[in-house]
Amino acid sequence: MLLRDIAHSRTGDKGNISNISVIAKSEKYWPLIVKEITEEVVADHFENLILGDVVRFILPNIQSLNFVLFQSLGGGVTQSLALDAHGKCFSSVILEIEIFNEDLINKD
């Protein structure tokens, strides 16, 4: 299954830094999202798009993760020639991460 099946996402930017939220669609998915969507998984998934580190923040009260991707926007909006200088497509990119959990797949 894809992350998009169990979560929503939003993005923001500041300079050359992208901020991506991953929000569980239901409480039942929250533990799986925290377990599976790590800094390493996100860094590997974005390896061709970012130059810097990935930092994860866990927001349990709103069942969300927040990822900060450094050096991810080609220098920022005022310097980048990218079509998506704000990195808004990153929310779609993160939702393409595959999650392998047989228990959850068999329940749904």
pLDDT of amino acid 77: 66
The answer to whether residues 16 and 77 touch, using CB atoms and an 8 Å cutoff, is: no
pLDDT of amino acid 16: 87
The answer to whether residues 54 and 67 touch, using CB atoms and an 8 Å cutoff, is: yes
Least confident of 33-42, 56-65, 93-102: 93-102
What is the pTM for the complete model shown?
0.87
Q: What is the mean pLDDT of the chain?
A: 88
Average pLDDT value for residue range 36-50: 96
pLDDT of amino acid 13: 81
The domain made up of 3-101 is a member of CATH 3.30.70: yes
Q: What is the DSSP letter of 19?
A: E
CA dihedral 75, 79, 80, 86 (to 10 degrees): 80
pLDDT band at 87 (very low <50, low <70, confident <90, very high): low
pLDDT of amino acid 33: 97
pLDDT band at 89 (very low <50, low <70, confident <90, very high): confident
Average pLDDT value for residue range 44-49: 94
What are the residue boundaries of the structural domains of the chain, listed by start? 3-101
